Structure 1
């Protein structure tokens, strides 16, 4: 993914790509929600957010109901970057699955989702 991004002129690491993707697809969220969704610890997430905020791709703003909390959201530049990265994402996914027919692709997705849910389930 990083090679595909760089070939398209996007200077982001894979983890930063995941953060922007999550915000683009889900919308604003807290740093802890975002960290869980991309499976980073708090310190690593703070470093990534600092870098992405420094590039003008996201911003932190106060939570509407809880003044102590912050919400993370894409800026217009971050949204534009996501739109630039989407074809890269599509090409990588297509290349990774090119040997699979549509039924196998759906089965793979189902298996991977179940494995991920099992790994995340604390019970």
Structure 2
């Protein structure tokens, strides 16, 4: 039956709501439900890949942030905090874990005695450089059902939603 439209689990939920409460517009529920369900698939795939490489998502996030910052691959704690959008305690814990693994190091800021710089160690740079290509392949697998044009369209629509929520600047 090739002409049947695709159906997912959210369609069943929406059908149930439409039967129980036909007065409700379930379109927003369907969209947000699909975003949430897809996020769960993404989250599971990312966790699995990072675990295979001895990391968790938060550790990858710090290593990737430092790597993409460019040489000398270091940022102050405040810049890391803004990039990760978590509490200062969470950043401290992440950096502590990575430092214990020898992947980052703390060093005093030469221009501000109160500040500390977080820098990738050679082992940290080597690990993030080895893990990043596989991470991108993993993400490619997750969106493989979409054509390049569909990916661009979806990315643009999600960008529009993020901008509407004020999510416009990383730092």
Same fold (TM over 0.5): yes
Contact kept? 1:5, 1:12, Cα under 8 Å: yes
| Aligned ranges 1:1-123 → 2 under 5 Å | 1-7=46-52, 10-26=53-69, 27-117=73-163, 118-120=165-167
| Higher RCO (C-alpha 8 Å, min separation 6) | 1
SS of residue in 1 equivalent to 2:118: strand
Question: Highest CA radius of gyration, 1 or 2?
Answer: 2
Unaligned stretches of 5+ residues in structure 2: 1-45
Alignment RMSD, CA only? 1.8
SS of residue in 1 equivalent to 2:117: strand
TM-score, reference length from structure 2:
0.63
For residues 58 and 66 of structure 1, the distance between their equivalents in structure 2, rounded to whole angstroms, comes to 20
Contact kept? 1:60, 1:71, Cα under 8 Å: yes
Question: Cα distance, 1:71 vs. partner?
Answer: 1.1
Give the number of equivalent residue pairs: 119
TM-score, reference length from structure 1:
0.84
Unaligned stretches of 5+ residues in structure 1: none
Question: Cα distance, 1:11 vs. partner?
Answer: 1.1
Task: Write out the 4+ residue segments of structure 1 that deviate beyond 6 Å after TM superposition.
Answer: none
SS of residue in 1 equivalent to 2:112: coil
